[in-house]
Amino acid sequence: MSRGLQDVRVGIIGLGYVGLPLAVAFSEHFPTIGFDINGARIAQLQDADDQTLEVSTQELRDASQLTFTNQLAQLKEANVYIVTVPTPITSSNQPDLSPLVKASEAIAKVLSEGDVVIFESTVYPGATEEICIPTLEAHSTLRFNQDFYAGYSPERINPGDKDHRVVDILKVTSGSTPEIGEFVDSLYKKVIVAGTHKASSIKVAEAAKVIENTQRDLNIALVNELAIIFNKLGIDTEEVLEAAGTKWNFLPFRPGLVGGHCIGVDPYYLTHKAQSIGYHPQVILAGRRINDNMGKYVVTCLVKAMIRQKLQVVDANILILGMTFKENCPDLRNTRVVDVCKALKEYDVNVDIYDPRADSAQAKHEYGLDLIEQPVPATYDAVILAVAHKEFVALGRAQVRDYLKPDGLLYDLKYIFDKGDVDLRL
């Protein structure tokens, strides 16, 4: 059976950082329905307001083929469903597939014969065919690869990056049959300017995604461990990395807090699957342990420096600049700045957090943390530069130091300022 693109009607399930830009991109070529269970989010998008700041008001207004809904029945108009819901981890670092299962159950209710369901959410190899497909079959009257088909094309988006948007990043594609593989690949080729790479199977595509961020996680863990070693040796880590970086094949990773919806999460999906088949990963989990403990390490270094400076630790006033998981975006998902806050409060210090990009209500809801509207000059015993927002870079060293008491300490986690302008660096 020949399958073309002429009658494609796309339904995007999940309109967050991944789904919304994808929906806008697809709507330039196909009628597209954006679906999300969050009614407030739908109302904002219908008013051309994207709180994630990934899509501009003008882009939403120009998307004439794009409609938004939280009514499942309206999704039935689609014949290609693309699932972009989050795949987080539990408090015990186990995969939480409940959003993916719920999305699959919902799609099953509107699925028709001949439809294709493409998953973009990051999972372990095998999850699409072991979890999602059986869910679609169980909640519909249709049979896989006879009545409906599946594909997997792992999300590739970099929140806050306006130079590398979804259409500018090469896309891996796959399908449940050779014909569907061709169809999925041609579908994304229509949208992704950078092109596509067709994998031989869904499992290969799943594995490719999960190791992208596992590799980055391990590289950052390595430089985090190097930073700990060099700190004990009294050597500046940035100077060492700059010297080593003069060789053409040295990778330019820097130490820091590892959060977000990908790097700090995806490796646990792979290790979970590995353990389920009897293999216990050592290198991957060692990297995770190092990165998960960096918040506590940062605070330990600060407290030692305060003691050397003869600053009182208990009841000290500490300012943290930045709460999002990365610079220049409002994304608070899995931010490891909360680890710094938690470790600081164990020393009975007073912590203020200032982040002009983050949403105060979300910070309170997700983490129980209050954000201040503006730091007060000459108030703090220490300032921790945790996120390299453009706003903090623009402040400059002198204005950031104005927040400090005369003998206060400036701790730069992001190498925003020169070594001589700060008191501590990773």
CA 143 from chain center: how many Å?
A: 34
- If you compute the radius of gyration of the chain from its CA atoms, what whole number of angstroms results? 23
Torsion sign over Cα 24, 19, 188, 135: negative
CB neighbour class for 182 (10 Å; exposed up to 12, middle 13-18, buried from 19): middle
Element spanning 369, H or E: none
Tell me the HSE value of 178 on the side-chain side, using a 13 A CA sphere.
1
Other C-beta atoms closer than 10 Å to the C-beta of 273 total 21
Q: What burial class does residue 89 get, using C-beta atoms within 10 Å of its C-beta: 0-12 exposed, 13-18 middle, 19+ buried?
A: middle
Known active-site residue 341: no
* C-alpha to C-alpha distances, 93 to 24, 224, 296, nearest whole angstrom: 33, 21, 18
Tokens of 172: 């891996």
Tokens 């070594």, located at residue: 419
Element holding 284 (H helix, E strand)? helix 283-292
Residue closest to 413 by CA, chosen among 382, 386, 381: 386
Catalytic-role residue among 132, 262, 329, 341: 262
Measured in degrees and rounded to the nearest 5, phi and psi for residue 424 equal -140, 145
Q: With beta carbons less than 8 A apart as the criterion, state whether 422 and 396 touch.
A: no
Longest dimension (CA), the chain: 78
| Token couple for 379 | 């108030």
| Sign of the C-alpha dihedral computed for residues 238, 214, 123 and 265 taken in this order | negative
Give the residue numbers annotated as catalytic, written as ranges: 262
